[in-house]
Amino acid sequence: MLDQIDSSKKELALHGNSDFPLAVYIDKYEGNGYPLHWHNEFEFAYVTEGEICATVDEKEIVLTEGQGIFINSKMLHSYCGKKNVYSEMPNILFSPMFLADSEYSAIYQKYVMPFTQSSFSYIKIDSKTEWQKQILFFAAQIISLFYSKKYGYEMKIRNLACEIFYEICANNSVLPVKQSDQRDYERCRKMIAFISDHFHEKILIKDIASSVNVSNRECLRCFKKIVDTSPMKIVEEYRINKAKYFLCNTDLSISEIGALCGYQDQSYFTKIFSSIELVSPGKFRSKYQAD
């Protein structure tokens, strides 16, 4: 267990995969627990039997049957079962990107990204409250669908995950935005839109900054604050996502796809693609076709 957590307390285990970034676990405790850790995924867990003590952001939350907890992305948390009491807790983890088509979509920009960047850490869910009871019902459906694997289960699970996220946002003031923050969100949205429109061209930081009439330094600050990464990192990720689409849906050569995505040098395209996807473009295409 401890070998799955690095020195920064980040959990190293993968939850789901790039095709379907959601995983379900049935955690069982009897005095034991899961150590302090964090991960990029949202987490929703609820107790079906026994009693669990969750610790989030140095706060202890006792969960009994019919109660659950929703934990924001990148929050330090742990679980511990009550001594000599058998406890069972279904656990759903899913990437914030699972809720939106891409980080450039309106859903991600307007709701998901501000949520992950907010001060919201967790919310305790109780079946005695009507809207929270609905969330527990949605979660139980996700568990059932995940294990049944019935036709269309991926679509139904995604819809249910969106319903859970909507209920939490709609019933809590979790997205307070200062006027200065709103300005930065809007600038970042426009700069990302510029990247989306010009990804196939040569793009420099000054080009991205000029799209909203700010300096290079202000552009870097804005990206760091809003999406916690650099603008050129967004450029690379957008290009690679486009390349993946072309690899899976066209017969274009590797060099042609690289050129369409802004890489005139095929070897450099292969290097960047491999560094992000951990596999070459050719092997990525072969794996997709084999599946």
pLDDT tens digits for range 131-162: 999 999 999 999 999 999 999 999 999 999 99
pLDDT tens digits for range 180-194: 566 787 788 788 888
Architecture of domain 179-290: Orthogonal Bundle (1.10)
pLDDT, greater one: 60 or 229: 60
pLDDT of residue 70: 96
pLDDT tens digits for range 212-228: 999 999 999 988 887 77
Rounded to an integer, the average pLDDT of 43-55 is: 95
CATH 2.60.120.280 fits 2-170, yes or no: yes
Confidence of residue 102 (pLDDT cuts 50, 70, 90): confident
pLDDT of residue 184: 81
Q: Which of 199, 186, 190 is nearest to 234 (CA)?
A: 199
pLDDT of residue 207: 95
CB 243 within 8 A of CB 258: yes
**Domain segments of the chain as ranges:** 2-170, 179-290
pLDDT of residue 291: 60
Confidence of residue 68 (pLDDT cuts 50, 70, 90): very high
Residue 62 has pLDDT above 80, yes or no: yes
Confidence of residue 197 (pLDDT cuts 50, 70, 90): confident
